[in-house]
Structure 1
């Protein structure tokens, strides 16, 4: 059993998070319930930020809100002095509703609508991460119409793709995101932006992948980008003032996952950037990064109530819970793996190996295959770890199942931050169909 953050097994044999008994949480708020360990989220945010501060490097650590966006989460990111990445009008609207400082908001996305770009300009956000030539043209026109100057980062495809331990030098060139570094698109985008009367070019953005356990991919990307910067300095007289190296910092989901501490990722990036800056004798850029999963991923635990079971002799035992792909799509979408325990019997040894089934009418709605557990009974509470990233963000109403509630726990107190959907919520946008009557002609 691998417990994270403030999680412990208390003297009742129950899983406790943030000083709150999860059995009590299930009784008070119902299940499925996503429980966030606030202390762990704060710890992660501070680890990223403080590493830059200790090395006296100008930086922004932006929470990638696509991992989990809610007003309470945005409030927490603001309390910790983070900046904020949004990728849609809905995420921007949530940030503004949370009174997050717009000057610290960065707007990403490969197909921002005109309405979304207008919304960002009117709000006075810190910058747009421009993804293509169409976006630059629209931003210029909208900025000119509004009489404002809009700050821009150019997202580039550096030709480095990283997922966990696999680093590929060419794969990321073929991507829906960003200007291609190898074909001259970036130089053209730099020229367009610098010649624009209403766009201000802040710098360059790069994102190489997700769930990365080593620094190798980031360092390869920095090397590639500085090769280009050396060329731009000579040919275009341009050196970016901001270098955004994206996110993708990994977390431990299951045994065998071995991510680095936030400090190690940041320190390695700083050292590599400094070495190139000294070599080229240029000004040190402000470094931006975008942790999302690494802030909220293993801070989240989902509680389910166990219901039915099915035994296939000589094959397996299925144990069903009251949630599934409606609150956690990741296992069905890309075979994500998780660990779990019985929250109400956390101190008991495993007696059998079972597979955890969701309640949706899909054979693919399986949360965990081959999980060692004590003999599970109807009414037991299953706690699935590391569900804080892309769980609620991808939650859906398949089979017309309401989305779960979300609570934050800290210092022995629990706060409801997202209400459970009701059946009325499910139909509140529906409009009844009225059959038109035919008028017969006599």
Structure 2
């Protein structure tokens, strides 16, 4: 799959005149289209709802776009709950709270906002009860253990993950919660990350649908919804084809009709909490080449660093790079594209084949719309960059300004800066 920026060089040059690099740029048109495709793919399920994973892109302007497209939010912290509330999601059906090792104050706020609380562990039942009481609608997170594989390169080890309950635990949890007055139950699970396979969601759905039938038949509980969580990924590298959300939706539908409908559970709602799939392709980190170095390797230094995009430094993640205006030139130079941190892993690309890069060239790092800005930090005193929205009409607006040194110093006590 050829990776093309969602802006042209001419567009970007005009944007850079207004907003200095580096900055994260988001494509409103693409975001809306992905949300609409997701809802169309699951339109067979009357109660379907996407709860966008706020941790992926905690930006109010983005959340409001998704709200307009019918999405809710999936939160995992106090501030994500607060952001969802301030963006208008606290209507009793639009917030999912999936957390672990959760402070009491976070459960209290989640319940106050009418969020669906997703319990990560059986011990959290008493903790929640003591903190604020058990709501009548609740969800439990399931971990089947062992290894999960689709017979391809998609494999993960749920048994080594800190999330979720074992099967005996979730049965016991549902028994106890039923005694506590719960009227509606949900099941949630997450088995693999960033799968580029149309088979992942249908396979996960079958596991959860069978579990739901067992729980209903053995405990007499009402399963109102099943949350397939995230895990549907994107092709970061150009050699892979993107997921087909319509094929995925059809695969889940088949499992639903084979497992749930015969069990008299054709009213179960399907929820998702996608982050990467919804936003990653619709974000670019835009940087400028400002230095070149010729030593044992060829280096291109840009005006961003791992503080702007942590994924390559953190776990060697690949982000495709386009040198704007040179898309059709031969990739006959081999570069390490690096940032300014005093860490040798501050590299956006290693031994990457690219066209010749000249100082002042604009570079686009693809697929940064999720887990890009969100994972920023301030090591070396580096400051988070601005976020810019490319609107549907082609205009741009700043949706988060860049940090300033005064922001960096603002939390320091005892010194006059």
TM superposition score normalised by structure 2: 0.92
Partner of 1:7: 6
Does the 8 Å contact 2:154/2:192 carry over to 1? no
- Specify whether residues 394 and 372 from structure 1 end up closer, same or farther in structure 2 by C-alpha distance, changes over 3 A only: same
Correspondences of 1:22-33 after superposition (within 5 Å):
22-33=12-23
- The SS at the match of 1:139 is helix
Separation (CA, whole Å) in 2 of partners of 1:383 and 1:203: 41
> Which stretches of structure 1, 4 residues or more, deviate above 6 A after TM superposition?
none
Partner of 1:190: 174
1:142 to partner: Cα distance? 3.4
Q: Please, which of 49, 64, 70 is the counterpart of residue 75 of structure 1?
A: 64
Partner of 2:79: 90
Correspondences of 1:386-401 after superposition (within 5 Å):
386-401=367-382
Does the 8 Å contact 2:187/2:212 carry over to 1? no
Separation (CA, whole Å) in 1 of partners of 2:89 and 2:209: 33
Separation (CA, whole Å) in 2 of partners of 1:320 and 1:163: 40
- Specify whether residues 347 and 168 from structure 1 end up closer, same or farther in structure 2 by C-alpha distance, changes over 3 A only: closer
Q: Please, which of 266, 270, 276 is the counterpart of residue 283 of structure 1?
A: 266
Instruction: Tell me, yes or no, if structure 1 residue 233 matches structure 2 residue 216.
Output: yes
Does the 8 Å contact 1:143/1:150 carry over to 2? no
1:351 to partner: Cα distance? 4.3
Unaligned runs of 5+ in 2: none
Partner of 1:373: 354
Separation (CA, whole Å) in 2 of partners of 1:348 and 1:238: 62
Correspondences of 1:104-143 after superposition (within 5 Å):
104-125=94-115, 127-143=116-132
- The SS at the match of 1:241 is strand
Partner of 1:256: 239
Q: Please, which of 405, 409, 428 is the counterpart of residue 386 of structure 2?
A: 405
- The SS at the match of 2:292 is strand
Instruction: Give the structure with higher Rg (CA).
Output: 1
Does the 8 Å contact 2:288/2:361 carry over to 1? yes
- The SS at the match of 2:223 is coil
Does the 8 Å contact 2:335/2:353 carry over to 1? yes
- Tell me the C-alpha RMSD between the 2 structures: 2.3
1:185 to partner: Cα distance? 0.5
Partner of 1:418: 400
- Specify whether residues 417 and 7 from structure 1 end up closer, same or farther in structure 2 by C-alpha distance, changes over 3 A only: same
1:122 to partner: Cα distance? 2.0
- Specify whether residues 256 and 162 from structure 1 end up closer, same or farther in structure 2 by C-alpha distance, changes over 3 A only: farther
Separation (CA, whole Å) in 2 of partners of 1:226 and 1:305: 49
Does the 8 Å contact 1:158/1:225 carry over to 2? no
